[in-house]
Structure 1
Amino acid sequence: MKILSYLLAYRRFLLIVLTPLLLLPLPLIIKTKVASAYFKDFHLLLIGVICLATSIEKWNFHKRVALRMVMLVGVNPAWLTLGFMVSCAFLSMWLSNTSAAAMVMPIVEAVAQQIIRAETEADALEMSCSNGSTNPALELDENVGECQSSDWKEKEKQVNGYDNDVSVIVCTTAKENEKDKEQENLPPAETRRKSRADKYSGVFKVMCLCVAYSATIGGLTTITGTSTNLIFAEHFNTRYPGCQCINFGSWFILSIPITVIILVLSWVWLQWLFLGFDFKNMFKCGKKRTAREEASAQVIRDEYKKLGSISYPEIVTLVLFILMTLLWFTRDPGFIPGWSSLFPKYKGYATDSTTALVIGVLFFIIPAKTLSRTSNGENTAFGYTPLITWKEFQSCMPWEIAILVGGGFALADGCEVSKLSEWVASKLTPLGSLPLWLVILISCLIVTSVTEVASNPATITIFLPILSPLAEAIHVNPLFILIPATLCTSFAFLLPVANPANAIVFSYGHLTVMDMVKAGLGINIIGVAVVMLAIMTWIVPIFNLYTYPSWAPDISYGNTTGL
């Protein structure tokens, strides 16, 4: 029964995965080709990246990076949120979006709780000093409590069969009148406290939304940052093997300006929406810190001190991380021959997954402890433990995503073999009469809308086999349509269920659905606008987009697209 309940809970996932595996071999593709779709270059690259992510999480290197970045930007609410955004976006470049949000959010929650604690103490002190040594708010609470006690005693008398006393009714009425007068004449400190409480609620909302959105935005930067980028790279390299232009370096060059612009504009938008964008307070020099800012700084310093000095496993993880990044950049930089040219007999065999897998294996080999010596100079015995174990890796590896993407690749192969994708593209060729920028915009808007209600990997897997033949049919460089669509697939900002990072942040209870909808709508508009600006400007010379490439098949149906 447990097995049946488990299968029932994952029925949709199993349907997507098993349908192509069971049905496609019947009339279309031989079973060996269908099975190979479930383990491609994408899966090897994912395994290597998860090895790095597992080591980073295990040895708390992510926490050190996040806290250090926040300490650098300061504790002003605006700069503090920017620090969290930059930290989370940087982590999301190398880890999954979900992991980045899960890592940074506990730090944000600790800062938020410390702010509440410090402000409560400051409010109590300010209110106690507002009327000599008397605290009106505390007196009000005591009076109300006394009344409630009297009312409770009166109810007890009624239960025991005693008559009501008229003095109790008079007391109750007098206390209520006194309470109304106290509320009408609240001291300025109490009024300021309520105003600050509303403001702090906005600060917490901004901090939470910054983590959720920056985790997604940061994933755009690298080809390994999110699964949609990896799926695009695998689909593109499989469909167009003659083009070797999509790699880690080229994707980083085209996407880093997009990430920076969207990140800054999103920060400004969230500040304006919830707090108001006050340049005067943000850039005022020599301003004395408030109790809230000092509390934030203290909790961040305390958390950083708990980490202690950087440990040996953290150093090894950092070295391997830098080595992996350098090997990715230098494999085929484009302007000079990369290290892949050292193997001319095996051209095309060295990919980004080669680097990821080799470095990933080292995490299972390099020991997590160094040899230490006693006072006599003898080496102490220690049990060999690698940086990560298979159990730790398996707990971090998103096997469901790997299998889901495999099912998507199998479906894409089926669409190509059956000519379904070409048929759909031929029906969309009337779009060729539209300006190119409008075709790209329509594609971006459709993908952005669908990804709010469907998972990002499923969305990109569905649309790539359709958009590729569409670009070929209207005789446009496929990258002109595929790159914007791939980037917009990650723009799932509106709903908590649209993205795992959104769900993690929403679970902390500082946000409502409408908060996320209002903020996410603006981020979606910003994201699509920046992507449109990028694809029409600086991305054009990187891939020579205005020229139809020789590596793309010419299946034009007689339509041309104007710019």
Structure 2
Amino acid sequence: MLKRLTRGLWNYRSITLIALTPLLLLPLPLVIRTKQAECAFVLLLMATFWVTEVIPLSMTAMIPAIFLPMFGIMKSSDVAKEYFKDFHFLLVGVTCLATSIEKWGLHRRIALRLVSMVGVNPAWLMLGFMSGCAFLSMWVQNTSAVTMVMPIVEAVLQQILKAKEGECAGKDNLTLELDETDSRVEKLKDVMSDQRHPDVPVETFTCVQIQTASKPAAAQVVVCEPAASSKSHRDLMICKAMCIGIAYSSNIGGISTLPGTSPNLIFSEYLTQVYPNCNCINFGNWLLLCLPISVIMLLLTWIWLYWLFIGSDFKFLWRCKEEPCESEKAARQVIEDEYRSLGPMSSREIFTGVVFLLMVLLWLTRSPGFMPGWASLFPQ
């Protein structure tokens, strides 16, 4: 009986949590009867709903708008003001711009152009993608920048791996001759299936025929050995370095500008509240302070990821005129094909780019600090 009841509660756990959580927390406002206890009730209720996600997060965020005026902690007008801060509207505008950039493919054009400029060597390729993601993250949210760049990274990496597989498959071994007798190969596979490792399939064994001058053709020796893995350890390390580099570069680029990430805007709003007469935080001086730090951090992260995942040979920094290998040629080809497939810039891309540049220009000239900006024309 108890087991059946437990199973029924688990099946309806969302409804159970929604109903029981306020009931279990009711002693706080009913027994203690202080504003602190009532505020703790709202805080614990929100924390429980946020952690369990029994209702959508956006609905949980609206709980203070209902309970704080109900308990008399704050007025409805004061609560509503907190939901419509300046940086909230700024985030909405940046999100709209990011949506337009992603919809019309402007992010692909920017990222592919930056990658083609730095080169297709794995190290330079990683720097190109990290730079492109960091640049996009300066103007849009970090998560949006990663989702924009990762599909391009995945396409290029897949092309590199395919090129390397073809390159390895096309190499000739001068000391070994392949046995073209299908029946003998099938027999050898049957024999090797009893002796192979249980985790290695038969198809991973390569059957080769060794013929020497000292033995007649009838005495040819056929050897079966494991084939090379389609993905080498170095290839996997390059993929890991690329993916982690994209994640890191989005955070690094986000610190460069005020709208690059939400904590920057929250810090600016908090500083304005604490020091209302101090107009020291604006887009221009934030960019002037944080952009050099971001560039240094990006270069150091790139070098560290290369050393950690790919190798400690940094000769590629001054060996720029070497003949590229097949995988690098394939990577350059897929980047050029991807950029070519975009075609000429459409009117929507041009309009989105103009809005983007206009927004950046307005941010820079709003209150530059060394001269009155256009914000001084609209006194508050």
In the superposition, the TM-score normalised over structure 1's length comes to 0.50
Relative distance call for 1:31 and 1:280 in structure 2 (3 A) is same
Provide closer, same or farther for how the CA distance between residues 58 and 228 of structure 1 changes in structure 2, counting only shifts above 3 A. same
Distance 1:267 1:14 in 2: 37
The change in CA–CA distance for 1:33 and 1:144 in structure 2 (over 3 A counts) is farther
Q: Is 1:297 the counterpart of 2:357 in the alignment?
A: no
1:141 CA displacement: 7.6
- Other-structure match for 2:164: 119
> Aligned partners of 2:154 and 2:370: how far apart in 1?
46
Across the aligned residues of Structure 1 and Structure 2, the Cα RMSD in angstroms comes to 3.2
Structure 1 residues 146, 339: closer, same or farther in 2, change over 3 A? same
Aligned equivalent of 2:145, options 100, 112, 120: 100
Residue of structure 2 in register with 1:131 after alignment: 175
The separation in 1 between residues aligned to 2:179 and 2:124, in whole angstroms, is 35
Read off the aligned partner of 2:190 and give its amino acid letter. Answer: E
Q: What is the aligned partner in structure 1 of residue 118 from structure 2?
A: 73
- Alignment deviations for residues 55-112 of structure 1 (CA, whole Å, 9 cap, x no partner): 1111100000000000000001100000000000001111111111111111111111
Give me the whole-angstrom Cα distance separating, in 2, the residues matched to 1:301 and 1:133.
39
Partner of 1:252: 287
Instruction: Quote the residue 1:240 is aligned against.
Output: 275
Identical pairs, percent: 48
Cα separation, 2, equivalents of 1:103 and 1:140: 52
Question: Take 2:189 and 2:63, find their aligned partners in 1: how far apart are those partners?
Answer: 66
Question: How many Å separate the matches in 1 of 2:58 and 2:250?
Answer: 28
Q: Aligned to 1:24, what secondary structure does the other structure show?
A: helix
Give the Cα–Cα distance (whole angstroms) in 1 for the partners of residues 351 and 294 of structure 2.
Answer: 28
Aligned-partner Cα distance in 1 for 2:64–2:358: 38
Q: Contact (CA 8 Å) 2:161, 2:231: kept in 1 or not?
A: no
Aligned to 1:147: 191
Partner of 2:53: 9
Deviations 1:117-164 (A, max 9, x none): 1111111111x444355289x99985653337899xxxxxxxxxxxxx
Distance 2:242 2:179 in 1: 33
Stretches (4+) displaced over 4 A: 1-8, 138-144, 148-151, 193-196
Residues of 2 paired with 1:317 and 1:281: CA distance?
37
Do structure 1's residue 40 and structure 2's residue 72 form an aligned pair? no
Report how far residue 292 of structure 1 moved. Answer: 1.1
The aligned residue for residue 260 of structure 2 is 225
Residues 180-216 of structure 1 deviation map (CA, whole Å, 9 limit, x = unaligned)? x754xx8xxx7xx669811111111111111111111
Consecutive unaligned residues of structure 2, counting only runs of 5 or more, are 1-11, 19-48, 196-220
SS in 2 for 1:95: coil
Match of 1:277, SS?
coil
The answer to whether structure 1 residue 272 and structure 2 residue 327 are counterparts is no
1:420 corresponds to: none
Tell me if structure 2 keeps the 8 A contact 1:220–1:226. Answer: yes
1:85 corresponds to 2:120? no
- In the alignment, the residues of structure 2 paired with residue 213 and residue 10 of structure 1 have an alpha-carbon distance, to the nearest angstrom, of 31
- Matched to 2:274, the amino acid is R
CA distances 1:412-445 after superposition (whole Å, capped 9, x unpaired): xxxxxxxxxxxxxxxxxxxxxxxxxxxxxxxxxx
Partner of 1:334: 369
1:284, CA displacement in angstroms?
A: 0.8
CA–CA distance in structure 2, aligned partners of residues 270 and 226 of structure 1: 23
Write the distance in 2 (CA, Å) between the matches of 1:194 and 1:141.
Answer: 20
Seen in structure 2, the aligned counterparts of structure 1 residues 342 and 14 have a Cα distance that, compared at 3 Å, is closer
1:30 matched to 2:75 = yes
State the alpha-carbon separation in 2 of the partners of residues 341 and 46 from structure 1. 23
Number of residue pairs the alignment of both structures matches: 309
Q: Structure 2 CA distance, aligned partners of 1:70 and 1:282?
A: 16
**Partner amino acid for 1:147?**
V
Alpha-carbon distance between aligned partners in 1 of 2:176 and 2:166, rounded to the nearest angstrom:
17
Aligned CA distance change for structure 1 residues 142 and 96 (closer, same or farther; 3 Å): farther
- What is aligned with 2:108? 63
CA gap of 1:120–1:39, structure 2 versus 1, over 3 A, is same
Indicate the SS of the match to 1:289. Answer: coil
- 1:85-484 pair list within 5 angstroms: 85-126=130-171, 128-131=172-175, 133-134=177-178, 145-147=189-191, 182-183=224-225, 197-343=232-378, 346-347=379-380
Identify which of structures 1 and 2 has the higher relative contact order when contacts are C-alpha pairs closer than 8 Å and 6+ apart. Answer: 1
The CA deviation at 1:235 is 2.1
Report if aligned partners of 2:138, 2:257 keep a CA contact under 8 Å in 1.
yes
* Structure 1 runs not aligned, ≥5 long: 152-177, 348-563
Instruction: Render the CA deviation track for 1:14-49: whole Å, top value 9, x for unaligned.
Output: 796245334433354222101221111122111211
- Mapped to 2, the partners of 1:133 and 1:66 lie a distance apart of 46
The structure-2 alpha-carbon separation of the partners of 1:87 and 1:139, relative to structure 1 and needing over 3 Å to count, comes to farther
Q: Is the 8 A contact 2:127 2:302 kept in 1?
A: yes
